[in-house]
Amino acid sequence: MEVPFLSLQDVTNKNFKELSAAVNRVVSSGWYLQGNETEQFEKDFAKFIGTNHCIGVANGLDAIIWIFRAYIELGIMKPGDEVIVPANTYIASILAITENNLVPVLVEPDIHTYEIDDGKIEAAITDRTRAILIVHLYGRCAYSEKIGALCQKYNLKLVEDNAQAHGCMYHGQRTGSFGDSAHSFYPGKNLGAFGDAGAVTTNDKLLADTIRSLANYGSSRKYVFQYKGRNSRLSEINAAVLDVKLKYLDADNGRRIQIAKRYIEGIKNPAIILPEYPHDTTNVFHIFPIRTGNRDALQAYLKENGVQTIIHYPIPPHKQEAYHEWNHLSFPITEQIHTEELSLPMSPTLTDEQVDYVIGCINRFEY
Ligand SMILES: *Cc1c(COP(=O)(O)O)cnc(C)c1O
């Protein structure tokens, strides 16, 4: 049997007719940017997340960049200010901070949740700290009441990188609505477009207006430029596609959760550490991360058996050449996760037979 990590073709085929109709509608309309489709999706996504505002932008990285850039334009932050961020995130979270000449302060994750360790944040706060950027990594909620309380106590902005967790809830509230939040609709994400796309959600009208302007050349009135902005707009075709897929997001996440439960109940191999199934939040399992001391052997074995896996991620940000100034730093938990993590196939289109096949392969793996 062949089990792909994620077949985007299968994901698209689920709603092929509806998606084609949406694309054709835009093609026929002759209107491709800043139109009804974007407006409708922004409205629907804000409602879904539970915020007053949504601004569609070009991609997820830009969404994070714009939040910090807007803080700077609004005088809330200035270059050199510090932002607390998990050490084990996708590089985009960190690039968005340094792009704005802000200083990332890396904090270790919890080895059980893989989310930022909220017990280690306070020690990292200095008088230059202006924000905590939490990343809902792998689809699990990183927010906690403790993090909310720290933001209050030290007057810090809470920014959420919700690229991997569309639909995730914390005590009934969606991630992406706790602070000012960035979303990526990269095709492989739980809510994915046909190409690059992203959005910011927020309850702050001034922030929303500033970001809408920044992402449109720094202009909110035609040919009048208030900021040195860029072109970072969401296309009408992608807005139309996303609006179709948004209707099925909760059901798709529900299927991901079923698959995760099946993995967790079925995998019985002492060499494998399974992800926790959290009870106080939903986990929308963008990724199903397992850990093992013999990761490369397990990956090769699964490949021989037709099971495609991916590593999220093989090299932590502080060991990247792009951040050579951090290469000497030591974050043991982060490094352990990057050494041991392996992501099993995960997609709402996987069948129970495929999942059981993966489980059988893993249970027969000899360490
Ligand atoms: C995908 C991702 C991003 C970046 O999104 P793009 O749309 O690819 O720019 C940012 N942060 C995290 C955690 C991601 O997984």
pLDDT band for position 76 (50/70/90)? very high
Q: Are 287 and 343 in contact (CB under 8 A)?
A: yes
Q: Is the distance from CB of 134 to CB of 356 less than 8 angstroms? A: no
Which of 42-46, 56-60, 174-178, 273-277 shows the lowest per-residue confidence on average (mean pLDDT)?
Answer: 273-277
Residue whose tokens read 């021989």: 304
Q: Which atom of ligand 1 is nearest to the CA of 92?
A: 10
Residue 164 CA to ligand 1 center (angstroms) comes to 8
Q: What is the pLDDT of residue 280?
A: 64
The pLDDT of residue 219: 96
Nearest residue (by CA) to ligand 1, atom 10, is 92
Strands (E), 48-128: 53-57, 82-86, 103-107
For a pocket test of ligand 1, which of 6, 88, 91, 164 has the largest count of ligand atoms closer than 8 A to its C-beta?
Answer: 164
The yes-or-no verdict on residue 188 having pLDDT over 90 is yes
Supply the pLDDT for residue 367: 73
pLDDT (mean) for 1-13: 97
DSSP-derived letter for residue 289 is E
* Contact by Cβ (8 Å): 153, 173: no
What stretch of H or E contains 201?
A: strand 198-202
Ligand 1 centroid, distance to 30 Cα (angstroms): 30
> Which residue is closest in CA terms to ligand 1's atom 7?
60
> Residues near 177 by Cβ (< 8 Å), separated by ≥ 6?
49, 50, 51, 201, 203
Helix (H) and strand (E) counts in the chain? 12, 11
Q: What is the pTM of this model?
A: 0.97
Residue 65 has pLDDT above 70, yes or no: yes
Mean pLDDT of 278-305: 92
How much distance in Å is there from the Cα of 172 to the middle of ligand 1? 24
Q: Which atom in ligand 1 lies closest to the alpha carbon of residue 136?
A: 13
Please spell the DSSP secondary structure of 136-195, one letter per residue: -GGGB----HHHHHHHHHHT-EEEEE-TT-TT-EETTEETTSSSEEEEE--TTSSS--SS
Distance separating alpha carbons of residues 59 and 99, to the nearest angstrom: 15
Q: Compute the distance from residue 61 Cα to the ligand 1 centre, in Å.
A: 6
Q: Between β-strands 288-291 and 169-170, what pairing exists: parallel, antiparallel or unpaired? A: unpaired
Across the chain, what does the average pLDDT equal?
A: 97
| Ligand 1 pocket, mutate which of 59, 61, 88, 99 (most atoms under 8 A from CB) | 61
Residues 6+ away with beta carbon under 8 Å from 190: 139, 164, 165, 166, 167, 249, 252, 253, 256, 284, 286
60 alpha carbon – ligand 1 mean position (Å): 5
What is the distance in A from the centroid of ligand 1 to the CA of 196?
A: 10
Contacts of 335 (CB under 8 A, 6+ apart): 316, 319
Q: Which residue has the tokens 């139109």?
A: 35
Ligand 1 atom nearest residue 197's Cα: 7
